[in-house]
């Protein structure tokens, strides 16, 4: 059985070797379905993020790969082998927990050596591997300390070292930077990216922080309600969201519900519920008549005089203005009653609340999506 599954996996992805594969995986806790019909393939050496709001099933997905949960239905494959029923301690993966879960009664060195000693590795080799891991996370001088004597960022490094010292096929990271403050987070993001590059092994990270996912990942899976909404590269997800949920969750966006009036080869004419006529790009060829138009705030242009734009140009006035240093964040109320978020570079324009403005954007900068 395992043999046939393996050959199937190879034929399914002939180009790049898949490291982790979930096939129609369902996980239910009682009547609560945390993960439903999930299909996912993570390639070898990839930095893959699972992104979603809390309660979307992303941590459960990671726990299914780690082996802390067994799927209610479907299969989990690691390096081609079906591990659905293999217990956590015999899977070639290691996890970095959000809470770190360090062993407080052991020194940093013993924490890191734990996995190697459990596998009965010789003491000389253990010493070398631990030293190498300590060097990778730049904690050489802290080997003899106890976790309680370390800062949050240092504990995070120990948790990383404790996982990577085992040379796992896949590193699983559950909100690894969630407990750190903003500045340390940025710094650790860089270090995570460096570690991934140096080790060349597959990283699967769960996060609710879209910025973190966008900046670190090769590919991102956006999850909602136990299902994957979209899988793609960061720019796929940001510039070509497939659903209104993805557009709204990744970055800020203006969502205008409406109906399609007329369809052209790659564009559609939409009349929004408030009566605006918008020309927008369409990604899917779905025949849905009720749609949502998504426009990112930074794609909207703001001007005091009437622009020379033929489409998507409306009059309104500024109802809120937030000064963000590099940018101005405005809320513009249109004549039709709709409000739009607009992000403008901070230029020497005299904008204030109640200033009458024109907003306009290119048809290429807005997308028609299926309603959530």
Partner 1 sequence: MPSRPVTWPSLFTALMYAFMYFPIIVLGAYSFSDSRYSASWGGFSLRWYRALFSDRRLLAALQDSLVIAIVAVAISAVLGTLMAIGLARHRFPGKGLYRGMSYLPLIIPDIAIAVATLVFLASVAVPLSLGTIIAAHMVFCLAYIAVVVSSRIQRLDPNLEEAALDLGATHTQAMLKVLLPQLAPGILAGCLLAFVLSMDDLLISSFTAGGGANPLPIEIFSRVRTGVKPDINALSVMLILGSALLAGLAEYVRYWGDRQRQKI
Q: For residue 25, state whether it binds partner 1 (rule: CB under 8 A).
A: no
Q: For residue 105, state whether it binds partner 1 (rule: CB under 8 A).
A: yes
- The nearest distance, CB 364 to partner 1, in angstroms, is 47
Residue 141 makes CB contacts below 8 A (sequence gap 6+) with: none
**What distance in Å separates the CA atoms of residue 215 and residue 245, rounded to the nearest whole number?**
20
- Binds partner 1 by CB under 8 A, chosen from 35, 51, 56, 66: 66
The pair of three-digit structure tokens given for residue 254, joined into one six-digit string: 């203006």
Instruction: For residue 343, report the phi and psi dihedrals to the nearest 5 degrees.
Output: -115, 120
- The nearest distance, CB 177 to partner 1, in angstroms, is 16
- The nearest distance, CB 202 to partner 1, in angstroms, is 16
- The nearest distance, CB 174 to partner 1, in angstroms, is 9
Q: For residue 148, state whether it binds partner 1 (rule: CB under 8 A).
A: yes
Instruction: For residue 27, report the phi and psi dihedrals to the nearest 5 degrees.
Output: -130, 120
Q: How many CB atoms lie within 10 A of CB 267?
A: 17
Q: How many CB atoms lie within 10 A of CB 285?
A: 6
- The nearest distance, CB 306 to partner 1, in angstroms, is 60
Q: Which is nearer to partner 1, 84 or 94 (CB)?
A: 94
The pair of three-digit structure tokens given for residue 189, joined into one six-digit string: 């993001």
Q: For residue 149, state whether it binds partner 1 (rule: CB under 8 A).
A: yes
Q: Which is nearer to partner 1, 119 or 320 (CB)?
A: 119
By CB under 8 A, what part of segment 127-146 binds partner 1? 146
- The nearest distance, CB 80 to partner 1, in angstroms, is 21
The pair of three-digit structure tokens given for residue 14, joined into one six-digit string: 């002939």
Name the one range near partner 1 by CB under 8 A: 18-26, 42-50, 113-121, 122-130. 113-121
Q: Do residues 49 and 216 make contact, with C-beta atoms less than 8 angstroms apart?
A: yes
By CB under 8 A, what part of segment 166-205 binds partner 1? 166
How many residues are given for the chain? 372
* DSSP string for residues in 242-301: SBHHHHHHSS--EEEEEEEEEE-SSEEEEEETTS-EEEEEE------SEEEEEE-GGG-E
Name the one range near partner 1 by CB under 8 A: 161-169, 251-259, 260-268, 354-362. 161-169
- The nearest distance, CB 368 to partner 1, in angstroms, is 43
By CB under 8 A, what part of segment 211-240 binds partner 1? none
By CB under 8 A, what part of segment 85-104 binds partner 1? 87-90, 93-95, 97-104
Contact set with partner 1 (CB under 8 A)? 66-68, 87-90, 93-95, 97-105, 114-115, 118-119, 146, 148-149, 151, 162-163, 166
């Amino acid at each position: 059985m395992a043999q046939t599954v393996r050959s199937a996996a190879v034929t399914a992805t002939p180009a790049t070797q898949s490291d982790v594969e979930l096939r129609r995986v369902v996980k239910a806790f009682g009547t609560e379905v945390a993960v439903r019909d999930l299909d996912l393939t993570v390639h070898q050496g990839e930095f893959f993020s699972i992104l979603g709001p809390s309660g979307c099933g992303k941590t459960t997905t990671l726990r299914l790969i780690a082996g802390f949960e067994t799927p209610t239905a479907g299969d989990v494959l690691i390096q081609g082998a079906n591990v659905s029923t293999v217990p956590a301690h015999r899977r070639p993966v290691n996890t970095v927990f959000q809470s770190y879960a360090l062993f407080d009664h052991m020194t940093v060195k013993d924490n890191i050596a734990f996995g190697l000693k459990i596998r009965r590795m010789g003491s000389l080799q253990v010493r070398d591997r631990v030293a190498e891991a300590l060097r990778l996370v730049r904690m050489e001088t802290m080997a003899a300390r106890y976790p309680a004597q370390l800062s949050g960022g240092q504990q995070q490094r120990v948790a990383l070292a404790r996982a990577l010292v085992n040379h796992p096929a896949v590193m699983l990271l559950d909100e690894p930077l969630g407990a750190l403050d903003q500045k340390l987070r940025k710094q650790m993001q860089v270090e995570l990216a460096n570690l991934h590059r140096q080790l060349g092994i597959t990283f699967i990270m769960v996060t609710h922080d879209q910025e973190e996912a966008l900046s670190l990942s090769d590919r991102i899976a956006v999850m909602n309600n136990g299902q994957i909404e979209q899988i793609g590269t960061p720019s796929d997800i940001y510039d070509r969201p497939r659903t209104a949920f993805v557009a709204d969750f990744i970055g800020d966006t203006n969502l205008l519900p409406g109906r399609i009036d007329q369809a052209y080869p790659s564009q559609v004419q939409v009349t929004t519920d408030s009566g605006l006529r918008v020309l927008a790009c369409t990604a899917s060829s779905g025949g849905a008549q009720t749609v949502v138009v998504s426009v990112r705030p930074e794609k909207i242009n703001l001007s005091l005089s009437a622009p020379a734009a033929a489409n998507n140009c409306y009059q309104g006035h500024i109802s809120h203005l937030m000064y963000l240093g590099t940018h101005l964040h405005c809320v513009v109320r249109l004549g039709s009653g709709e409000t739009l978020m607009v992000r403008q570079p901070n230029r020497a324009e005299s904008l204030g609340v109640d200033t009458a403005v024109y907003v306009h954007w290119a048809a290429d900068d807005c997308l028609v999506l299926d309603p959530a």
